[in-house]
Amino acid sequence: MSQFATLIGIAFAAAAASGLTGPAHADGEATQLAPLGKLRVGVYPGSPLSLTVNRATGESHGLAHDLGAELARRLSVPVEYTTYQRVADVLVAMKAGQLDFTITNATPVRALDVDFSQPVLSLELGYLVPARSSIAKADELDRPGMRIGVTKGSTSERTLPAKFKNAAIVPAPNLREAIDMLNDGRIDIYMTNKPILFEMADSMQGARILDESWGLEYVAIAIPKGREQAMDYLRRFVSDVQANGFLAGVQKQAGLRGAVAAAPQ
């Protein structure tokens, strides 16, 4: 995890193992993390990292959704959710002061606009192809005529052009549209983290996730800049939910697949 710390320019201290299992909190930390007296959580649909809806029960789950609710409980403030189409829209709203909390891939670019906790977990990055595709390996992708789908405004959109010199990188406005683009042949493959790919594949008959991966994402809590006094509390919160089984329960409820446990901080 030293690579992660280098990327975002923060050295994380070891977190205390106690003191966050109940709702007790210091007033200053609640004021810092929820300055309007409520925790405003930004989510986007279709990703177990953020927000999914159980089709059988109608219940909402997801890392951002459920961890936001748990943090609000511990701060003794209500939680308020706002749904956006893409994670990029969530981060724009946070930078504008409209949100207090979300969960996202922690990158150097994003760290310019928001502050991150230590990693909550890591995710494998992968490849999704539709049923009709003959693609079996990643080394078949970088050729003229190949159309690689990514989410508009995502880290993948910024980084993949350097990885694939001959293929075309095609942004999709959201995950629902990305599925349609795969189904109707506007793109040949879709690349993002595996938890999202599994969710997409569930609604695409015969779709396949290739066995290979092209890296890891480090997923962390994001909060607005200027709230540094609350960061120690937030880091202890992350360490606590990792250690006490709460995070594992959230992952199960959200149907999160393709995650790798983050190393303790």
Does residue 169 form part of some domain?
Answer: yes
Residue type, 261: A
Question: Residue 27: which pLDDT band, with cuts at 50, 70 and 90?
Answer: low
Residue 249: pLDDT above 70?
yes
Q: Residues of the chain with pLDDT > 90: what percent? A: 66
Question: Residue 28: which pLDDT band, with cuts at 50, 70 and 90?
Answer: confident
Asked if residue 142 and residue 75 are part of one domain, the reply reads no
Does residue 265 form part of some domain?
Answer: no
Question: Residue 262: which pLDDT band, with cuts at 50, 70 and 90?
Answer: low
**pLDDT score, position 12:** 36
The pTM (predicted TM-score) of the whole model is 0.72
What is the arithmetic mean of pLDDT over 43-49? 90
CB-CB contact of 224 with 36 (8 Å): no
> Looking at per-residue confidence, does 12 or 259 come out higher?
259
Helix residue ranges per DSSP H, 48-124: 63-75, 87-95
Asked if residue 113 and residue 224 are part of one domain, the reply reads yes
**pLDDT score, position 10:** 36
- Residue 239 and residue 52: Cα distance in Å, rounded? 24
Tens digits of residue pLDDT in 35-44: 999 999 999 9
Asked if residue 222 and residue 91 are part of one domain, the reply reads yes
Q: Please report, for the domain that includes residue 179, its CATH number.
A: 3.40.190.10
CB-CB contact of 126 with 210 (8 Å): yes
| Average pLDDT over the chain, rounded to an integer | 87
- Residue 235 and residue 16: Cα distance in Å, rounded? 9
CB-CB contact of 117 with 20 (8 Å): no
Apex 54 CA angle, 44 and 217, nearest 5:
45
Asked if residue 226 and residue 106 are part of one domain, the reply reads yes
Residue 88, φ and ψ in degrees, nearest 5: -60, -35
Residue 215: pLDDT above 90?
no
Residue 197: pLDDT above 50?
yes
Structural domain containing residue 198: 124-209
DSSP letters along 18-70, please? Answer: SS-SSS---HHHHHHH-TTSSEEEEE-BTBTTTBEE-TTT--EE-HHHHHHHH
Asked if residue 133 and residue 117 are part of one domain, the reply reads no
Does residue 78 form part of some domain?
Answer: yes
CB-CB contact of 116 with 262 (8 Å): no
Q: Token digits for 169? A: 């990188």
> What total number of domains does the chain contain?
2
Residue 243: pLDDT above 90?
yes
**β pairing state of 168-172 and 79-83:** unpaired
Residue type, 68: G
User: Domain ends where: 209, 234, 250?
Assistant: 209
Asked if residue 194 and residue 65 are part of one domain, the reply reads no
Question: Residue 92: which pLDDT band, with cuts at 50, 70 and 90?
Answer: very high
**pLDDT score, position 263:** 54
Range of lowest pLDDT (27-31, 84-88, 132-136): 27-31
